[in-house]
Structure formats: structure tokens, C-alpha cells
A = this chain, B = another copy of it.
Amino acid sequence: MDKIDRKILTLLQKDATMPVAEIGRKVGLSTTPCWRRIQKMEEDGVIQRRVAVLDPAKVNVGVTVFVSVKTNEHNDAWMRKFSAVIDEFPEVVEFYRMSGEVDYLMRVVVPDIGAYDAFYKKLISKINLTDVSSAFAMGQIKYTTALPLDFAIVVDDDK
């Protein structure tokens, strides 16, 4: 991974439809070497996939709720069970195991508070949760799928 790879990734994180020839032009490479670099980063799994990003409001999931869960079950089996349950809910778009006060945190997207309540009831019917608290977002000020590349390890082999 060198500076050119980073530039390529920056461009692809913004717009994955950009022709390889144009990417090449922008990073100072012709089509073939640029294409090979992209190919390699896909093989290496640096680029995981290319996806379409939708407008949440336009598909009627304009409300985000952060759900914090505390539990007494601090074991691997329970975590797997919980993960499996969450996997079945497409409205849970992010799910983290936390350190500190809260044990798990998830981001849930729904149309409105009513739909959140329905989700909540369905969730607690599927798994026994000790302590759940919900925080509603009044607005999404920033959301990006683009990761910062400032920390990426630059190997820059020979030059």
C-alpha cells in the first residue's frame, strides 16, 4: 500500500462507478497498472465489496435509535445467541460489543417511534435482556461509509 493506492481508495470510497481510466488519470497512472492495483486490493480484501447506498428517508427509515444493553451473561455462548438473534433483524444496521458501563450497543433504523416499539417488543420476545435503554437521534448530521486513510500503513516497498 503506497500513496497511489490510498488515492485510488479515496476515489473509490466516494464513487465506485468511476471508470478505471479516469481513476488512472487522476492518480497519474494509465489504465492497466491502475486496474491491477484495484484488482490486488480486492483480492487482498482491502476492498470488501461495492454497494449501492440508499437515502434512508426515501425508503422510510428516517429514524435512528441507539440501543444500549447491559447483561449478566458474560459468556461466549450467550454472545453467539444474541448475535444470531440480531442477525435476523434487518433494522439493526450496526452492533458492537462494548467495554465499560454498557455491554452491547446497536444502531437501529425505523420509520417512527411506533415501529421502534414493535421492534423492541419483538426483540425482547426472542432473547432475555436484563437492562435495555434507547436513545433517539433527532437528526443525522454526518454519515459516511468512507474510512479515513490517514492511518493506513504505507509500505512503499522500494522507492
Contact = CB atoms under 8 A, between A and B. Distances in A.
A127 interface: no
Contact of A105 (B14, B66, B106): B66
A16 interface: yes
A19 interface: no
B86 A142 contact: yes
Interface in A41-75: 44-56, 58-61, 64, 66
Contacts of A145: 51, 53, 93, 145
Given A50-B53, A53-B51, A53-B145, A61 B95 contact: no
B9 A59 contact: yes
Given A13-B51, A97-B137, 5 more contacts: A61-B151, A66-B98, A90-B148, A90-B150, A96-B140
In the A-B complex, the 3 residue pairs with the smallest Cβ-Cβ separation, listed nearest first, are A90-B148, A95-B142, A12-B52
